[in-house]
Amino acid sequence: MVGAALALALARQRFSVVLIEARKPTLRWDAEIHDRRVSAISRASQHLLQNLDVWSVIVADRATPYRSMHVWDRAGIGEIHFDAADLAEPDLGHIVENRVIVRALWQALPSAGVRVLVPTQIRRLTIGDDGAEIRLDDGQVMQIGLVIGADGAASQVRMLSGIGCRSESYEQQAVVATVHAELGNRSTAWQRFMARGPLALLPMQRDLFSIVWSTSPDEADRLCAMPASAFNSALTEASESRLGQLTLQGERAGFPLRLQHAEQYVRPGVALVGDAAHVIHPLAGQGVNLGFLDAGALVDALIAGRDRGRAPGTLRTLRSYERQRRGHNTATQLAMDGLKHLFSNDSGALSLVRNLGLGAAGRVAPLRRVFERLALGDAVDLPTLSRAARRQ
Ligand SMILES: Cc1cc2nc3c(=O)[nH]c(=O)nc-3n(C[C@H](O)[C@H](O)[C@H](O)COP(=O)(O)OP(=O)(O)OC[C@H]3O[C@@H](n4cnc5c(N)ncnc54)[C@H](O)[C@@H]3O)c2cc1C
């Protein structure tokens, strides 16, 4: 998602772009079957996709706006509910299947002039002072002004360019699935914090939800392996039946959760964006939203560098990108980390803080504001592409 958006944005800004992708993405599917992988797209990400002229394609395909969010805690005392109307917003964001975003972006790449090479990978990367030479699987060699690693958490570009990465397991797995809710979706995103991790229910079309159930690896394995009827009961109980009976639609899958941060985002001739640079807990669904902000900030930095006559791979150009994004990504990682620990620790004192926090937040503020801002993605100095649409 992040690499394709960045390729499109740079091509639209008259940079010459080659997209190298290891796996051909799925561009056709049965509309009745929903992708298990979805993203809660913030307002800032929506603006970026609007500015790239793909948002209308995404909405025409399938995107579900959600107008309220309800967060509660297993102790059952503290609750936060907030509504788009209170913030004078039409909605708090949209839930979109990842493949819908990828397809809209991929369909726009050829006419923007992006050269797409798929499926292939980089075999060798040689970095010079202000650019790089890459050799692909098929022996093809290219001189590139800047290699951008948008190749996810196990980034090959990060490894080949010798950039270190701090990585730590959360000792949790996220179980993802699509489920039907007896009481319908009510355009509301739900999140319940439990001892082993949060359960998020993200509204999809009709009466469907996409769930992200973070829990211990053993419990996740058990939830993925148990018969569907037992899973339905466990999930309905975990959601305290707030949406009535929940019924699994299709397959379940588990994703191990990690906290990761690259030691640098840039080297001469190399930049990292999205999960290649940072991976956070999916709680509050911020991963791809941060990645889109990286993409927007890198576009701004490269345009500013070009205006000053600098080559794209020069460190002076790239450092302004790193300066703009590292602080915000670190702060978001810490916030997610703090929330995760706050809500998963069983000590009595923390439980008290939690309940006081959620109870107070429901009426007034700080925690509530954190969730609102995360949903809308308006808490940072936004890159040009992430600001309100220049044209629809
Ligand atoms: C359970 C779960 C739920 C989530 N929910 C949300 C949410 O609601 N909202 C949100 O914002 N984020 C969410 N995230 C995070 C989000 O999915 C990621 O942040 C996002 O997918 C990162 O996008 P990316 O484009 O940087 O990387 P990726 O999506 O990992 O894409 C990397 C691309 O690079 C390609 N690639 C990999 N290696 C190579 C190679 N060697 N050569 C060439 N190509 C290569 C891959 O094929 C892929 O196309 C969630 C994550 C999880 C695990």
Ligand 1 pocket check for 3: Cβ under 6 Å: yes
CA of 355 to the centre of ligand 1 (A): 34
Q: Mark whether 285 and 369 lie in a shared domain.
A: yes
Per the domain annotation, does 98 fall within a domain? yes
CATH number for the domain spanning 246: value is 3.30.9.10
Ligand 1 pocket check for 116: Cβ under 6 Å: no
Given the DSSP bridges, would you call strands 115-117 and 18-20 parallel, antiparallel or unpaired? parallel
Q: Mark whether 10 and 155 lie in a shared domain.
A: yes
Total number of domains in the chain: 2
Ligand 1 pocket check for 322: Cβ under 6 Å: no
Q: Mark whether 54 and 23 lie in a shared domain.
A: yes
CATH number for the domain spanning 315: value is 3.50.50.60
Say how far apart CA 362 and CA 80 lie, in whole Å.
4
Partners of 248 in beta bridges: 179
Among 122, 168, 110, residue whose Cα is nearest residue 149: 122
Q: Mark whether 381 and 304 lie in a shared domain.
A: yes
Q: Residue 284: which domain range?
A: 2-67+86-167+259-386
Say how far apart CA 314 and CA 270 lie, in whole Å.
9
CA of 287 to the centre of ligand 1 (A): 8
Q: Mark whether 301 and 371 lie in a shared domain.
A: yes
Which two three-digit tokens encode residue 249? 């639609």
Q: Mark whether 161 and 272 lie in a shared domain.
A: yes
**Tokens 């002229």 belong to which residue?**
53
Q: Mark whether 16 and 142 lie in a shared domain.
A: yes
Answer with the one of 216, 236, 257 that is the final residue of a domain: 257
Ligand 1 pocket check for 21: Cβ under 6 Å: yes
Q: Mark whether 369 and 282 lie in a shared domain.
A: yes
Q: Mark whether 149 and 35 lie in a shared domain.
A: yes
Q: Mark whether 58 and 163 lie in a shared domain.
A: yes
Answer with the one of 199, 223, 257 that is the final residue of a domain: 257
Q: Mark whether 240 and 289 lie in a shared domain.
A: no
Decide: residue 358, CB within 10 A, 0-12 exposed, 13-18 middle, 19+ buried. buried
pLDDT in tens, the chain (392 residues): 999 999 999 999 999 999 999 999 999 999 888 898 999 999 999 999 999 999 999 999 999 999 999 988 766 557 888 889 988 899 999 999 999 999 999 999 999 999 999 999 999 999 987 689 999 999 999 999 999 999 999 999 999 999 999 999 989 999 999 999 999 988 999 999 888 889 999 999 889 999 999 999 999 999 999 999 999 999 999 999 999 999 999 999 999 999 999 999 999 999 999 999 999 988 878 899 999 999 999 999 999 999 999 999 999 999 999 999 999 999 888 888 777 776 665 555 456 555 555 555 554 466 677 777 777 766 678 999 999 865 44
Pocket test for ligand 1, best of 118, 151, 170 (most atoms within 8 A of CB): 151
